[in-house]
Structure 1
Amino acid sequence: MSAIPSTTADLAASLEVRLAHFPMQQLVTAEQQIVGYCEAQPASSARNDALPLVLLHGIGSGAASWVQQFEALGATRRVLAWDAPGYGVSNPVEPASPKAADYADVLRGWLDALGIECCVLVGHSLGAIIAGAFAAANPQRVAGLLLLSPAGGYGAAAAEVRETKRDQRLAMLAELGPEGLAEKRSANMLSQHADETARAWVRWNMARILPHGYAQATHLLANADLAADLARYRGRINVAVGADDTITPPSACERLAQAARTPLQVVPRAGHAGYIEAADAYTALIDTFCRASAAPRSH
């Protein structure tokens, strides 16, 4: 993050000014689902045949969290980030206790409405669960799948474990509300190396979650089994994690990388929300993966 004013309010306000260059848009899919999203793209005069880049946020975040990636990558390719169903202006999914496929269906409808037939898909944390489910079901539409600090889900665990994990998070939401969650939980998203700008931006995004959407996402986390989807997917895939991530630590991400048959990339001096606190490193990682995804695969 670049150096900007020192108070929390000033930090958030300055970031909102940067975000204003990528205003929230919304569309209605063929299935009548409203999806809110932000977009960056090269100037219309520039010829560009680069693959679109689609970014999926985690459970305590939103499209706005990717503002640094919009700024850095939007000059060379179309970059889009959605507010997942139940976040921002996006309609929630129908089931009270949804599965990854429910979110993947909305993702497909959104990409259809945008006219995106094939893209590079990046999922962070819970967004990795949605990305993995979409890629497994629609491999021809994913030129490359990049998972950042992926959450694996508890779908393969015993029912008691799934219910306990789900109920603990729902109880915390009920007790604290979005703003309380942001105050209590946002610091866990970052490493000790994060600056105050990154901390303010993580809090800002987390404070704006909607309780119903967060609750549905909590059920998704309990129901999901990302490793099973990765075992089915045969396309290009990378998995990366911050060395100091305590939420989805390298040991957990290593198991998912093994399921995906790919080496794990570990980013130094970064926590769970690495793309926010170590934006240059993560943007370079994403850009390199996008370029590799445009090349034919060797067999």
Structure 2
Amino acid sequence: MPHAIDHPAPSPTTELQAQLALHFPQRLLEVAGGRVTIRECGTGPAIVLLHGIGSGSASWLEVARELGQSARVIAWDAPGYGESSPLRSLAPDASDYAERLLQMLDALDIQHCVLVGHSLGAITATAFASGVQRQRISRLVLISPAQGYGHPARALLRKEVRNKRLHALEQLGITQMAEQRSRYMLSPRASVKAHAWVQWNMARINPEGYRQAIELLCGEDLLRHSPLSMPCEVHCGEADGITAPQSCQDIASALGATFSLIADAGHASPIEQPMVVASQLALALKKSLTGASL
């Protein structure tokens, strides 16, 4: 009898890309500033997800699949990421990103939502939630928030971080950066699939969008956008080596927000612990609908 031919198992990213197309498809919105690419699934009350500097909308895939059972889930590609148009300014601030977010919400006719910001996305989320359109945000959720380096006391660190990131971009390029930096996004116990998905998302960053995001990170201070008028909660992976738990707890205290740790997770908790993150966001959505203050 002929021997059966062993076919190699599909890679984790191949399987996740297939799920992405099927369960969390991408579409393009035309807005005044150009275009915004989003991924969307589900129906019900809206929850909007903003990714970090080393990521994109696809990073929310498994969180979105779970949340989409009871909510309308939208994840954007930030300006200059994916097929989203970059911002006009070479050194944009949070108000520029918040304006693009407003254009997206208008295009989708979203008048009320829970707004979620991960890492650098937390700066845009907080800026929007403290702005003139704050009434649209029923609850703010920050996951491993980056504070930024815009405070005068962080001037030396700001210069160091900016130079280091720009140098890495020029010397390594996006692909090598993804290979080297992706491991720092996860806890030591992260799965092969989580490592592969973090790297896949990071490898798809556009240099122009990344340069603008560096300027946002280095020029902004999340806490300058406080106080907030809506309930806020902060979560952080217990093994986060990028935005450490203590710094996230300090941000929570400054914002008057609740704080919790996510077990067995590093910085990229939406990829490493998607079911836990989805449960937290589902609870935040439920609280937003019942008017809970905590």
TM range (shorter): over 0.9
Q: What residue number does 2:249 align with? A: 254
Q: 1:200 aligns with which of 185, 188, 196?
A: 196
* Count of aligned pairs: 285
Using a 3 Å threshold, how does the CA distance of structure 1 residues 27 and 153 change in structure 2: closer, same or farther? same
Q: Which residue of 2 aligns with 1:59?
A: 53
Secondary structure at 2:11 match in 1: helix
Structure-1 residue corresponding to 2:96: 102
Cα drift, residue 51 of structure 1: 2.1
CA–CA distance in 1 between the matches of 2:92 and 2:174?
21
Structure 1 segments of 4+ aligned residues over 6 angstroms from their partners: none
2:176 to 177, 180, 190: 180
Which of 258, 277, 283 is the aligned partner of 1:263?
258
Other-structure match for 1:296 = 291
> What residue in structure 1 maps to residue 128 of structure 2?
134
- TM-score relative to the length of structure 1: 0.92
Equivalence for 2:27? 25
Local SS of the residue matching 1:89: coil
Question: Which amino acid counterpart does residue 80 of structure 1 have in structure 2?
Answer: I
Report Cα offsets for 1:54-109 as digits up to 9, x if no partner: 00000010001111022111121100000000001100011111101100000001
Aligned partner of 2:64 among 66, 70, 74: 70
1:282 is matched with which residue? 277
Give the letter for the 2:126 counterpart: G
Contact 1:99 1:223 in 2 (8 A): yes
Amino acid at match of 1:160: L
Are residue 222 (structure 1) and residue 223 (structure 2) matched?
no
The answer on whether the counterparts of 2:64 and 2:278 sit within 8 Å (CA) in structure 1 is no
- Say which SS state the counterpart of residue 252 (structure 1) adopts: helix
How far apart, in 2, do the equivalents of 1:183 and 1:237 lie? 34
Q: Which amino acid is 1:235 matched to?
A: M
Q: Cα offset for 1:286?
A: 0.9
Counterpart residue number, 1:163: 159
Q: Give, in whole Å, the separation in 1 of the partners of 2:154 and 2:52.
A: 24
User: SS where residue 75 of structure 2 aligns?
Assistant: strand
Q: CA 1:198/1:6 → structure 2, altered by over 3 Å: closer, same or farther?
A: farther
Distance 1:195 1:85, change over 3 A: same
Identity of paired residues, percent?
43
State TM-score, norm by structure 2: 0.93
CA deviations 1:179-205 (Å, max 9, x no partner) are 101100000000011100000000000
Report how far residue 263 of structure 1 moved. Answer: 2.8
Cα distance between partner residues in 2 of 1:158 and 1:244: 24
CA–CA separation in structure 2 for the residues paired with 1:123 and 1:211: 21
Cα offset, 1:41, TM superposition: 1.4
CA distance in 2, matches of 1:68, 1:263: 24
Taking the aligned partners of 2:180 and 2:18, their CA distance within structure 1 comes to 26
Q: Which structure would you say has the larger Rg?
A: 2
Contact 2:25 2:41 in 1 (8 A): no
User: Deviations for 1:127-164, whole angstroms, at most 9, x for unmatched residues?
Assistant: 00110001010220101100000000011034333222
Residues 189 and 247, structure 1, Cα contact 8 Å, conserved in 2: yes
1:262 & 1:169 partners in 2: Cα distance?
30
Q: CA deviation at 1:297?
A: 4.1
Question: In 1, Cα distance between the equivalents of 2:8 and 2:237?
Answer: 26
> Equivalents in 2 of 1:238, 1:266: separation in Å?
11
Give structure 2 stretches of 5+ with no counterpart: 1-6
Matches of 2:167 and 2:212 in 1, distance apart? Answer: 13
Q: Which runs of 5+ in 1 are unaligned?
A: 43-49
Does the 8 Å CA contact 1:33/1:106 hold for their aligned counterparts? no
AA paired with 2:181?
A: R
RMSD: 1.6
